[in-house]
Structure 1
Amino acid sequence: MSNSVPPLLLNRLRMRQVLLMLAIHEHATLHAAARQLGTTPSAASKMLHELEAAVGEALFEREGRGLRLNPAGQAVLHACRGVRGTMAALGNELSKLRQGGAEKIFIGSIMVALPDCLSGALLETKRRYPLLSVEVTVDTSDRLIERLCDGSLDIVVGRLPRPGDPASQECVFRPIGEEEVAIVASPGHPLVGLARREPLPFKALLDYPWILQPKGSPSREVIDQECIGHGAGMPTGFVETSSLVFTATLLMREHMLAVAPRSIAAQYVESGVLSVVPYEFMHRLSPWGSIVHRDRHASPAKDTLLELLHAGAMAGKR
């Protein structure tokens, strides 16, 4: 590819075409995308043809009455998401300037990082930047990274997507720690406090109802892996929730089982609310750490928070 191609694309690419690509991907039809953009299907079709001419590739394949991205379309879509993320970051920055220059950082985090890693780094960053505002969202890594890529989050503390996921190419990951999980139940659960010479067998866990995290969460992933590893099916009739508070409430009222990060579970165990079931997991979770977009908008406060996240992790390992 010649060096003249990127300037040519920059000169011919329009923001409306970026929005059109995102809308077609979301709705899978040109008519629905045109309606979202407030234009006619013929005008949307013309915009798409102009974009394909600028790129030099067809971007979609017809699938019934809809459109499906081809490999070139996937590449253009990732670029369009990056443009949208950059514009969102610019909008946030301009809004901050209009409000007097006080910065706000949008952070997404998985549960395991909250008690020690994120809270310590966040408080120290606030001490150094008293006017700094921070908004923290707690969710699963996959959902947080989606928001990171669309520009609504600045920093994510979580796990990188699996290799091959397009988002993994858009993000920079620095590991911080590894998460251990535990099976928890009420202190009066029949499986709690068993004096056993051998580890509790997995099949014994399937005799009780379960509370599971939604798909995509690390706790759900480890249970999926355990079931596969033991040749067992998933527990049936389970309750699915991402709320650990609600999980603890159900566990206290019924002989149910759940999986939780060991560091989080320890807080409930210390207060006598829950107990840990003596089961040894076959599988381990991938490391978690800080994740930022490759094209992120840096600032002294964000850089400070990132370095404190990792400095705290190193101090904890000494």
Structure 2
Amino acid sequence: MSQSPISLGRKLRFSQIVVFEQVLRSGSILRAAQVLNMTQSAVTKVIHELEHQLGAALLVRGNRGVSPTEFGELVARRAKSLLAELRYMSEEVNAFQQGTAGQVLVGTLISASAVLLPRAIQLLKARAPAVVVTLRVAQMDQLLPALPVGDLDLVVGRVPEDGTWRTRSPQLEAETLYREPLCFVGGIQHPLAAPTPATLRDLLAFPWILPTRDSSLRQTADRMFRDAGVTPPANVVESLSVLTNVALMLDQATVGLMPDSAARQFAQAGLLAILPVPGLPDFGDIGCFAFTGREPAPAVELFRSCLREAAAGIATPATA
């Protein structure tokens, strides 16, 4: 049975889309009912109505909850986009009626979370206290796909050098904000935390923290060893957890790699020392990714301007 936009629009209600998306997000009709402040039977009724109107099953019910059918996944992708547009419209209405308001959903990586994002959020809050900023920390391959469907408004982090993300996501754009140097760090009492410069080979005598193998920073680290003709260290912990890494380096022996702006933040707090090792490669360009297929909400545009202002105070802007 084919569905025209007019016939489908007459049948469907936005509240049904909200309920369906929450069921998928919760993985359970019971948990979705609790979040939505509805009864379990009321949620079940909405799903049944939606399945009847669309002419196919949306969910598979099992002992561990519910999961989408293949048809349900198709509807879910469009449902997320519809809800994102509804959120943008509500934010524009609120901004028009009350002044700047709304929500900004931001995905980020370690490269932006230590300095750039806190500064940008402070600028935003000084100008628009009612805007809610929600942060999600993950890897780039998890964050970028969330932009087209509306799960995120912006992704802030290192721009991959290979450019393959442009092929996979042609509707995404990246605005380069600045170029980030890379540095070695250790505890403030680390033996190499002296003014005398050290070499990469000097560091091999110590335990290391390296980024996980699926991260872009690990690729940079591997290339650094290769270019220096040095065998990578064997005594390694692989981690992208900033708090864990800082705690490990408090042993005054472990060595880690960090973007320069993050390292300086910890050094100023007296937690870490920047180890004087010349000749390190740059960490790369730090930028802001966005989806070009939707008009951004006013709060999102305001936050982008705050990111630009915060980036200008960190380093010299990079050339694109």
TM surpasses 0.5: yes
- Counterpart contact for 2:111–2:158, Cα < 8 Å: no
- Counterpart contact for 1:141–1:160, Cα < 8 Å: no
1:253 counterpart residue number: 251
Q: Distance in 2 between matches of 1:309 and 1:268?
A: 21
Which stretch shows the higher mean deviation, 114-123 or 205-214? Answer: 114-123
Which of the numbers 84, 89, 108 marks the counterpart of 2:84? 89
Verify: 1:243 aligned to 2:244, yes or no: no
Q: Distance in 1 between matches of 2:171 and 2:250?
A: 42
- Counterpart contact for 2:110–2:242, Cα < 8 Å: no
2:163 counterpart residue number: 163
Identity percentage over the alignment? 24
2:60 counterpart residue number: 38
1:195 counterpart residue number: 196
CA 1:275–1:150 in 2, change beyond 3 Å: closer, same or farther? same
Q: Return the offset for 1:276.
A: 1.7
CA 1:276–1:130 in 2, change beyond 3 Å: closer, same or farther? closer
Which stretch shows the higher mean deviation, 251-260 or 106-115? Answer: 106-115
Q: Distance in 2 between matches of 1:128 and 1:187?
A: 37
Root-mean-square deviation (Å):
4.0
Q: Distance in 2 between matches of 1:203 and 1:298?
A: 49
Identify the structure with bigger relative contact order (alpha carbons < 8 Å, sequence gap 6+): 2
SS at match of 1:145: helix
CA 1:179–1:96 in 2, change beyond 3 Å: closer, same or farther? same
Partner letter of residue 132 of structure 2?
Answer: S
SS at match of 1:272: coil
Instruction: Structure 2: give runs of 5+ residues left out of the alignment.
Output: 9-55, 62-68
Q: Return the offset for 1:154.
A: 0.6
2:211 counterpart residue number: 213
Q: Return the offset for 1:291.
A: 0.9
Verify: 1:123 aligned to 2:122, yes or no: yes
Q: Distance in 2 between matches of 1:184 and 1:286?
A: 18
Task: List per-residue Cα deviations over 1:199-246 (Å, max 9, x = no partner).
Answer: x33222222221122234454232111122123443224112222222
Q: Distance in 1 between matches of 2:263 and 2:283?
A: 16
Q: Distance in 2 between matches of 1:277 and 1:191?
A: 6
- TM alignment of 1:134-145, pairs within 5 A: 134-145=133-144
- Counterpart contact for 1:121–1:309, Cα < 8 Å: yes
Partner letter of residue 259 of structure 2?
Answer: P
TM-score normalised to structure 2 length = 0.64
Instruction: Structure 1: give runs of 5+ residues left out of the alignment.
Output: 1-9, 15-33, 48-76
Which stretch shows the higher mean deviation, 285-294 or 129-138? Answer: 129-138
Q: Distance in 2 between matches of 1:227 and 1:81?
A: 45
1:226 counterpart residue number: 224
Q: Distance in 2 between matches of 1:278 and 1:81?
A: 51
Q: Distance in 2 between matches of 1:223 and 1:80?
A: 42
Q: Distance in 2 between matches of 1:154 and 1:143?
A: 14
Q: Distance in 2 between matches of 1:124 and 1:267?
A: 18
Which 4+ residue blocks in structure 1 deviate beyond 6 angstroms? 79-82, 94-97
2:25 counterpart residue number: none
1:286 counterpart residue number: 284
2:263 counterpart residue number: 265
Q: Distance in 1 between matches of 2:235 and 2:310?
A: 41
